[in-house]
Amino acid sequence: MSDYRRHYDTLARIAAELESGDADLDRVLPLLEEAKAAYEACKTRIEAVRRALGEDFDEVEALTEEDEDEE
């Protein structure tokens, strides 16, 4: 499993636990700290992919925004 997928799964697990309302109050802060670290790892990976795609990504994003504006 890739690091990105592992961190994404961590975020999903934490979100589910917090949304369920079953998380013990003493566990919330450690969960949020773990989620923050996982989020930063995912964000870093996404930014690296965007940089690798360079202008191609910017062009696709601009076209997507134009399509949304037309709707």
Note if the pTM is more than 0.85.
Answer: no
User: Tell me, what's the pLDDT at 1?
Assistant: 81
Residues whose CB is less than 8 angstroms from the CB of residue 30 and which lie 6 or more positions away in sequence, other chains included: none
* Per-domain boundaries in the chain: 3-70
**So what's the pLDDT on residue 35?**
97
- pLDDT, position 60: 66
Which residues 6+ apart lie within 8 Å of 34 measured at CB?
10, 14
CA–CA distance, 49 with 32 (Å, rounded to integer): 26
Return the DSSP state at 15: H
What are the tens digits of pLDDT across the range 2-51?
999 999 999 999 999 999 988 888 889 999 999 999 999 999 999 988 88
Q: Can you tell me the distance from the alpha carbon of 26 to that of 32, in angstroms, rounded to the nearest whole number?
A: 11
Q: HSE, CB side, 13 Å, CA atoms: give it for residue 46.
A: 9
Of residues 53 and 64, more confidently modeled: 53
